[in-house]
């Protein structure tokens, strides 16, 4: 707020694209073709963004702006976009269960729309790596990252039984999850930053849950149930991660992604150097 009073936070722009477009591109790069967007009321802007825009496309065509026209069409053709309305805001678990008419009992990925991840050197995306791990094992895999003790109350924090290194990635046998534990009472410092690949059993677990904290259906409760009954792996995939719902995270994401653009990197570095100099007592 106040930016998100009229614009969904998932549609806030990082450089020149909405956050959600980066998220969808991550899924598409992993070979996922069907994207189910779960959104509450007041977020029709998301549906409109991925729909055809005949007037805009016609205007770009008539003005011979072919590059812009192709970029607009690419968004429309990126994937099969399926929109489902979450009629009541009853938590992330409820939102995931809302996708049942599309996913059925099939395995599926979950990517939070206000969380961005980036891996260097053309490595597979985070969700792509989780997808490959699921395909190799047949069990659910979720991404975790280590956070400071002062940060544990912002996340779901996992407890694990065993840890091993597989293909240079730390992999944990997930035991249970504590949702946003108080500082000093977390079972570990491994947090869930919003990337998951689940087997279909997670939907049944969610449907049988009673509301938990704040009257919401907690995804973490269902994950604990599935982990103990069928097994679930938590993997610490090295990546840059940005929380767009956080002001600092949003600013840092814009800087980091601008640095990845050759045409922006050099002038941006100059501006950042000027800003740092001024704020350290230098002159304009």
- What pLDDT tens digit does each residue of the chain (284 aa) get? 677 777 888 889 999 899 999 999 999 999 999 999 998 877 778 888 777 777 887 787 788 888 877 777 777 788 888 999 888 888 899 999 999 999 999 999 999 999 999 987 778 899 999 999 999 999 999 999 999 999 999 899 999 999 888 888 899 999 999 999 998 899 999 999 999 999 999 999 999 988 877 788 999 999 999 999 999 999 999 899 999 888 999 999 999 999 999 999 999 999 999 999 988 876 66
Nearest to 253 by CA among 8, 6, 20: 20
Question: Which value, to the nearest 10 degrees, does the dihedral of the CA atoms of residues 57, 63, 64, 67 take?
Answer: -50
Nearest to 35 by CA among 49, 25, 48, 45: 25
CA pair distance 62, 68, nearest whole angstrom: 12
**β-strand 13-14 against 17-18: which pairing, if any?**
antiparallel
Q: Which residue ranges form the domains of the chain, and what is each CATH number? A: 3-245 (3.90.550.10)
Neighbours of 166 (CB within 10 A): 12
Peptide bond into 2 cis (omega under 30): yes
| Contact present, 249 and 119 (Cβ < 8 Å) | no
Say which residue the tokens 């992604």 belong to: 257
């Amino acid at each position: 707020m106040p930016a998100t009073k009229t614009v969904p936070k998932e549609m806030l722009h990082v450089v020149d694209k909405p956050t959600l477009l980066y998220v969808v591109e991550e899924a598409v790069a992993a070979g996922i073709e069907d994207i189910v967007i779960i959104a509450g009321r007041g977020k029709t802007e998301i549906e409109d963004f991925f729909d055809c825009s005949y007037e805009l496309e016609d205007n770009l065509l008539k003005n011979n702006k072919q590059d812009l026209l192709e970029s607009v069409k690419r968004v429309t053709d990126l994937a099969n976009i399926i929109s489902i309305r979450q009629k009541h805001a009853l938590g992330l678990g409820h939102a995931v269960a809302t996708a049942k008419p599309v996913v059925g009992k099939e395995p599926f990925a979950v990517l939070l729309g206000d969380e961005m991840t980036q891996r260097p050197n053309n490595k597979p995306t985070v969700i792509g790596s989780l997808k490959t791990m699921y395909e190799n094992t047949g069990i659910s895999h979720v991404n975790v990252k280590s956070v400071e003790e002062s940060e544990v109350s912002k996340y779901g924090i996992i407890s694990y039984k065993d840890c091993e290194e597989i293909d240079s990635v730390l992999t944990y046998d997930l035991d249970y999850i504590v949702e946003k534990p108080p500082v000093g009472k977390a079972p570990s410092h491994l947090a869930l930053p919003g990337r998951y690949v689940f087997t279909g059993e997670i939907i049944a677990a969610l449907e049988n849950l009673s509301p938990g904290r704040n009257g919401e259906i907690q995804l973490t409760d269902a994950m604990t149930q599935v982990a103990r009954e069928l097994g679930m792996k938590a993997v610490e995939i090295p990546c840059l991660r940005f929380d767009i719902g956080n002001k600092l995270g949003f600013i840092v994401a814009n800087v980091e992604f601008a640095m990845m653009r050759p045409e922006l990197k050099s002038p941006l570095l100059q501006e950042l150097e000027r800003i740092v100099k001024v704020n350290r007592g230098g002159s304009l």
